[in-house]
Amino acid sequence: MAGHFEATPGGGASVALDEVEIAILRSLAVQLLELIGPGDEPAEGEDPLAALFAEGPSEPPTDPALARLFPEAYGDGDKELREASAEFRRFTENDLRAHKREDALAVVRSLDALSPVSDGGAVLSLAPDECRHWLGSLNDLRLTIGTRLEVSDEDEGQDGSLYRLPDSDPRKPMVMAYLWLGALQETLVETLMPD
């Protein structure tokens, strides 16, 4: 099971992680939470239903990684499409941010709940609902890292440049994390696919 998810009875999945992998995953999830930002909790005495209808931002984020996580709904077309994208963003981005925060928090919490074995590693077992949170967070982490690395489709192919970086390249650790997260994501998807 080491290095990839395997299906468990009841629709869940499990993976063996060593101490370093646990630390990397946790660190990346915490960094993702910091990037997404804190949620807007209703103030004491404020109607929680009113918070559901609060309007969010209408402009896309300026940070390229956030822009990738919260893309324009209708692209960068003419004025009419930009206005439609702004309207869509205004009513959906807060909820999308909350969902992404929830996914990343689920990753952190499940890693924090692990009981390490003698070598410091552990087996992470996820219930079906936890698998969905992990899939969302793994995807968000890959999108964020890929944006920071300026990864293109050509880079990801088997003959792509990501696989040929010299050890001296300062991007190498993040590229390795990007590729590893992709492998984890792929095996998690495979475990959830019906036979």
Lowest mean per-residue pLDDT among 2-6, 13-17, 92-96 = 2-6
Helix spans in 113-163 (H): 128-149, 153-156
Q: What is the pTM of this model?
A: 0.86
Give CA–CA dist 92/97, Å, rounded.
9
Beta strands in 65-164 (DSSP E): 122-126
pLDDT in tens, 58-88: 888 999 999 999 999 887 778 899 889 889 9
Give CA–CA dist 80/77, Å, rounded.
8
